[in-house]
Amino acid sequence: MSLSTSIHDIKTLVLSYHPVIVMETVEEDRVFSLLQSTALELRMPFFQWSITTGLVRVPGKSIMYGTGEPTSLLSTLHQMDTQAIFLLKDFARFATDHTVARQLREVSQRFAKNRSTLVLSGATIRLSPEIEHNVVHFHLKLPEREELRKVFNTVLHSLVSANRIEVLLDPREREELVTALSGMTLNQARQTIAFAALKDGKLSVGAIREILERKAQVIRESGLLEYFPVEDNRFQLGGFARLKSWLVRARTGFSREARELNLPAPRGILIVGVQGCGKSLAAKVIAREWKLPLVKLDAGRLFDKYIGESEKNFRKAISLAESMAPVVLWIDEIEKAMATGGGEADGGVGRRMFGSFLTWLQEKKHEVFVVATANDLSILPPELLRKGRFDEIFFVDLPNADERGAILTIHLKLRKQDPSQFDFHRLVEATEGFSGAEIEQVVIAALYRGLHLKQPLDTELLVKEISETVPLSISRREDMQKLREMSRGRFVSVN
């Protein structure tokens, strides 16, 4: 959302008699600039308030004495006849007081008639249900490219004018650096540019890597997403030939040629199927093949006991993923986050998050390629499986003979074993009905057995371990058959 669009939206809210606007953000300076520009365009007075300064007319320092305390502020606002915009910083924390809550409600009722507007800003804002019905929440999206470029040029001009740095970036590299800043607040962008430049007295392409690492740190600190950097992604995938072929074609959707034809960038894929057969591994391999960072969204990290917090966590996670664009977003076991069959059991959280996810998936502008995985199709909303939600839906079955051979080769080499020293024909036959994860575990367990017996790994040790393993295809035969029947003819096989 551009600055001009934000100003237009705020103007529309003010002119349509919305008495209270809530902006949950830490970017106070950006909120102030946005509201000041809005007030100028509407030719309305603009005031700001904080507990330390009281109510102040902007521009200038004209303080209205006796407005330092929340109750005295609200009493003053209730008596004012001036149509104006009032920014109240961190005010929501005082609204838990019954007297303040009552006064705030009365002020909002008065403002709804005279077209004045209160804007409450802060990192987290919770209001009583009685006030909420007079409130509209305005989501202040992270700065877009034009704002970030302006900050970049301002910081650069300041540092160069002071003869503090040398700039070693050509025009293309400058644009790459601005792209890397995507997803940061203006203050974070300002600090990051200055730090990267002053660190060794020059601004070079190395600054781009530092910015990406700074963003990765923000993701780690959020606790909502898990971050896998490109350089650490060495995962391999046996089989999946049809999926790999599809991915080669899909990647062209991010090209300049595709944009020139007004083709939308690929949204993502859904991978359903048997547990342990490589769905999660596929997400990691896609990121590696495309040389993109991978962020993992775990449904369990989203849910919160407080009303509205789970949805807020979901929005924050999506914003963080967008900040890393271009990126692969892996939503593991999507049915746990998007299941809508719980009725009132979860207060409708699953249904609301599902609706938000579908809207975002259809309308997202950032290059975030979604790889969603699911084990239980029975609890997935039918709307999610409709053609067009994802670019494609793939089904993963148990690996065939060739794929089992490839999987064995990968895991033997990974553990410093020479595949040529094993009877592959015998091993491939013995592992029929095994998933990829079960084959990996057989190799690991056989190596432990060999260490215990003080003998090298051989075919006999592997066969013995295979014979003592009961795969899911046997222990959960009925469930697996049901899954296959549901998927037959509906989804594309990965092979």
pLDDT at residue 344 greater than cutoff 60: no
What is the model's pLDDT at position 254?
Answer: 79
pLDDT at residue 20 greater than cutoff 60: yes
- Identify the CA nearest to 125 among candidates 250, 309, 273: 309
Q: Write down the architecture of domain 3-137 according to CATH.
A: 3-Layer(aba) Sandwich (3.40)
What is the model's pLDDT at position 363?
Answer: 81
What is the model's pLDDT at position 343?
Answer: 47
Which part of the chain has CATH 1.10.8.60?
Answer: 401-475
pLDDT band at 144 (very low <50, low <70, confident <90, very high): confident
pLDDT at residue 345 greater than cutoff 60: no
**Burial letters 269-291, b for 16+ CB under 10 A, else e:** bbbbbbbbbbbbbbbbbbbbebe
What is the model's pLDDT at position 470?
Answer: 92
> What class is the 401-475 domain?
mainly alpha
What is the model's pLDDT at position 49?
Answer: 95
What is the model's pLDDT at position 306?
Answer: 54
pLDDT at residue 318 greater than cutoff 80: yes
CA distance 250 to 320: 24
CA distance 91 to 23: 12
Alpha helices in 263-381 (DSSP H): 279-289, 309-323, 334-338, 349-363
Digit-coded pLDDT (tens) for 255-302 = 778 878 888 888 899 998 888 888 888 888 888 888 888 889 876 677
CA distance 200 to 164: 10
Digit-coded pLDDT (tens) for 62-107 = 778 889 899 999 999 999 988 999 999 999 889 888 999 999 999 9
CATH code given to domain 145-222: 1.10.8
Contact (CB, 8 A) for 314 and 353: yes
What is the model's pLDDT at position 339?
Answer: 61
- Percent residues over pLDDT 70 in the chain: 94
Between residues 358 and 13, the one the model is more confident about: 13
Which part of the chain has CATH 3.40.50.300?
Answer: 3-137, 231-396
DSSP structure class, residue 431: T
> What class is the 231-396 domain?
alpha beta
CA distance 437 to 228: 20
pLDDT band at 468 (very low <50, low <70, confident <90, very high): very high
Digit-coded pLDDT (tens) for 438-463 = 999 999 999 999 999 999 999 999 99
What is the model's pLDDT at position 208?
Answer: 79
What is the model's pLDDT at position 424?
Answer: 93
- Percent residues over pLDDT 90 in the chain: 31
Q: Is 81 exposed, middle or buried (0-12, 13-18, 19+ CB in 10 A)?
A: exposed
pTM: 0.64
Digit-coded pLDDT (tens) for 168-186 = 888 888 888 887 787 778 8
Which are the contacts of 138, defined by CB distance < 8 A and separation ≥ 6? 9, 10, 13, 21, 22, 23
Contact (CB, 8 A) for 221 and 323: no
pLDDT at residue 394 greater than cutoff 70: yes
Query: To 10 degrees, the CA torsion angle through 31, 32, 34, 39?
Result: 140
CA distance 53 to 65: 9
- Identify the CA nearest to 77 among candidates 85, 130, 477: 85
Digit-coded pLDDT (tens) for 102-129 = 999 999 999 998 889 999 998 888 888 8
